[in-house]
Chains A and B, each alone.
Chain A
Amino acid sequence: MAKKRSNAPAVHPAFADVPHEPGAPKPDPVVVAHGILRKFGGLTAVDVDHLEIQRNAITALIGPNGAGKSTLFNLLTGFDRPQNGAWEFNGHSLSSRSPAQVARAGMVRTFQLTKALSRMTVLENMRLGAAGQRGENIFAALLQPLWGAQEEAHTERALALLERFKLLEKKDDYAGELSGGQRKLLEMARALMSEPEIVMLDEPMAGVNPALTESLLDHIVQLRDEGVTVLFVEHDMHMVRRISDWVVVMAEGRIIAEGPPHSVMSNPAVQDAYLGAHHDTDLSEGQ
């Protein structure tokens, strides 16, 4: 299998002066988390001292299985509550906000285990993602003229996104009839329907075929160029290197390293976390 080699690693300018260490402060953070602790019984799933996510950049969150990446996502988006800690989004505290409030604030996430709404069509899934729908008021719902035009606009955006995610021919199928990879795509497209300020993608490319992955990676880069902040969890190091501007490495609940994608993997702490004693294995060739 031929792999694209990334060219000479160009550090994203925003990160030029950011130290390569856990909890490093960023010039313009959109999310700032501090002292986040989540224990499940005796197991410490997340114990993050400090984390900042740079605005308008692509940050990858990586780490071995069970490192606490998904749990951190759940905490930041209100789906789980930490025992301790505070975090802000755009300077406003999001601690103790409900998932819906977090999403409405502009921070939308996807799930590692996809949550396609099975007995709804692909297009209906997409429309549901749009924010601020007038027809979601029970009284306005009865009067189509009040929301018809808005619905039309949402449908148009949905179709454009579906086209981009190669799901257009599937628009009238039930989401439950899609393959696993297609569901991943649908969920990502649906999250984008609300035009979020930051998208948090939990393993967006797991199960997506490599040819499509390439075009989606381009799409994620394009999202960043349009001003969206992207935070994603991924095990595929090729993808991480290809699109991320910054990498945060977690292991056993803690952030053990931060740095630009081309160098962070050579950090000994990271090699330790991933491979234990097998230091000689070259991580840079993917996993």
Chain B
Amino acid sequence: MDLLIDTLQQLFSPLTAAFAIAAIGLNVHFGLTGLLNMGHAGFMLIGAYGYAIATIQGAPIWLAVIISLAGAGLFALLLGWPTLKLRGDYLAIVTIAAAEMVRLVGRTQALEPWTGASTGITGKEYKEPFEATSPFPERLIPVGPFELHGTASSSWWLTLVSWSVVALLIVLYWLLQRSPWGRVLRGIREDEDAVRSLGKNVYSFKMQALVLGGMIGALGGVSYALGAQVHPDSMGRPTTFLIWTLLLLGGAASVFGPALGSMLFLATQFLVKGVLDVFVPDDIVSAPQAETISLAFVGITLMLLIIFRPQGILGKRRELAING
């Protein structure tokens, strides 16, 4: 019973919101524009570092958020500048490498005073200003069967704020994808040369999409950091693949897909791990093994999706049936 409640709680946890935000960013890249960003975790990590380091240096929340957005925007410009003129595969390769570089730079001992090197930055070093804005009492607050702290870390306050951000970004995505701007991006996804022949500056539009999606990814990183900690190794390639899974599960190019995919997948993953923990004896599957199995679950889901429902839950089958 506890497991069930915990699973339900996972559906709307701040962590789920953080991944939903990141997946919306990837949806701008891939779903809308067809950009193969294989290093989305790198944008999240830049966002998380930017927010944490700026806060520790004494920046107010709004400035810290702007700094992390600017960091991700700059990163996107750097990645896009050499690659967006080339075929899509180049962006994929460069983003994988660049995201790894962000992680490795974050880990270097030389930057230890800022990034905490491989140990990362613990939450208590930067969460305080955000928690101070909480209107809720500083204690555990039960709501129905769910219980969360009012202000600290993964709190009701963070839940409220991060899901509001998800809602705002869904509205933003919806507004953009129905606009002429979104139409150009969808055209680029289909055939760049056709869009060029109609007088649109494809490079500039792709760059705008890369920057916007990257900034949204950074917001996901900030949101993640506020509920957990900043740790370079928790935002490596597996995180990128997780975000891809969330997006493809929900349905790329759909408005609600990223949020729905995050909720369903993260809750199910939690449930799988919980069931293994609770019902399977430790000498058959130990706790660390359960963790690994729940990660393998990402890969298996991704494979099953591509085989049986490539358009995801909310994607349009009819659209996918068209090739070329």
- Contacts of A209-267 to chain B: CB distance below 8 A: none
Chain A residues contacting B181 (CB-CB under 8 Å) are 135-138, 140-141
Residues of B within 8 A of A131 (CB): 198-199
Q: Mark A183-213, 1 if CB is under 8 A from B, else 0.
A: 0000100110110000000000000000000
Q: In whole angstroms, how far apart are the Cα atoms of A131 and B194 in the complex?
A: 14
**Binary contact readout A21-65 vs B (1 if CB under 8 angstroms, 0 otherwise):** 000000000000000000000000000000000000000000000
Taking a contact as CB atoms closer than 8 A, the residue among B175, B189, B198, B208 that contacts A129 in the complex is: B198
In the complex, what residues of A have CB within 8 A of residue B190's CB?
117-120
Q: Judge whether A142 and B175 touch: CB under 8 Å.
A: yes
Decide if B102 is an interface residue (CB 8 Å cutoff).
no
Chain B residues near A116 (CB-CB < 8 A):
194
A103, B193: Cβ atoms closer than 8 Å: no
Contacting residue for B196 out of A79, A137, A141, A142, CB 8 A? A79
B323 near A120 with CB under 8 A, answer no
Binary interface encoding of chain B residues 86-103 relative to chain A, with 1 for a CB under 8 A from any of its CBs, else 0: 000000000000000000
Q: Is the CB of B219 closer than 8 A to any CB of chain A?
A: no
Categorize the interface residue count of chain A.
35 or more
Assess whether B194 is in contact with A194, with CB atoms less than 8 Å apart: no
Q: Is A92 an interface residue (CB 8 A)?
A: no
Q: Choose among B183, B208, B319 the residue that contacts A124 (Cβ–Cβ < 8 A).
A: B183
Residues in B whose Cβ lies below 8 Å from that of A147: 179-180
Once bound together, how far apart are the Cα atoms of A137 and B208, in whole Å?
A: 10
| Chain B contact surface mostly | helix
Residues of A within 8 A of B197 (CB): 77, 79, 99, 103, 108-111, 115, 191
Residue numbers in A under 8 Å from B282 (CB-CB): none
Among B175, B180, B187, B323: residue with most chain A CB under 10 A: B180
In chain A between 137 and 154, which residues have their CB closer than 8 angstroms to a CB of chain B? 137-138, 140-142, 144, 147, 151
The answer to whether residues A103 and B180 also contact, given A119-B322, A128-B187 and a CB cut-off of 8 A, is: no
Asked, given contacts A136-B180, A141-B182, A174-B322, whether A99 binds B193 with beta carbons under 8 Å apart, the answer is yes
A88, CB-defined interface residue at 8 Å: no
Are B187 and A117 in contact, CB atoms less than 8 angstroms apart?
A: yes
Q: Mark A69-112, 1 if CB is under 8 A from B, else 0.
A: 00000000101000000000000000000111101100011110
> In whole angstroms, how far apart are the Cα atoms of A127 and B187 in the complex?
11
The answer to whether B201 touches A127 (Cβ under 8 A) is: no
Q: How far is the CA of A177 from the CA of B193 in the complex (A)?
A: 20
Does chain A have a CB within 8 A of B212? Answer: yes
What's the least CB distance linking A190 to chain B, in Å? 7
Which residues does chain A contribute within 8 Å of B180, judged by CB atoms? Answer: 127, 133-136, 141, 147, 151
- Counting CB contacts under 8 A, is A181 at the interface? no
A202 to chain B, nearest CB (A): 11
Q: Is B67 an interface residue (CB 8 A)?
A: no
A239 to B212, CA, bound (A): 49
Is A142 within 8 A of B179, CB to CB?
yes
Q: Is the CB of B176 within 8 A of A100?
A: no
Residue B147 at the A interface, CB < 8 A? no
- Specify the chain A residue showing the minimal Cβ separation from B190: A117
Q: Which residue of chain B lies nearest to A115 when distances are taken between CB atoms in the complex?
A: B194
Query: Which residues of A lie under 8 Å from residue B145 when comparing CB positions?
Result: none
- A144 to B172 Cα, complex, angstroms: 13
Identify the B interface with A (CB < 8 A): 172, 175-176, 179-184, 186-187, 189-191, 193-202, 208, 212, 318-319, 322-324
14 interchain pairs, CB-CB under 8 A: A108-B197, A117-B187, A119-B189, A120-B183, A120-B190, A128-B187, A134-B180, A136-B200, A137-B181, A141-B176, A141-B182, A142-B175, A144-B179, A151-B180
User: What is A's interface to B at a CB cutoff of 8 Å?
Assistant: 77, 79, 98-101, 103-104, 108-111, 115-120, 124, 127-129, 131, 133-138, 140-142, 144, 147, 151, 174, 176-177, 187, 190-191, 193-194
- 12 additional A-B residue pairs with CB within 8 Å, beyond A120-B190, A194-B199: A79-B196, A98-B196, A117-B187, A118-B190, A127-B180, A129-B198, A131-B199, A136-B200, A141-B179, A147-B180, A190-B198, A191-B198
**5 shortest A-B CB distances, which residue pairs?**
A176-B322, A135-B180, A103-B199, A141-B179, A141-B181
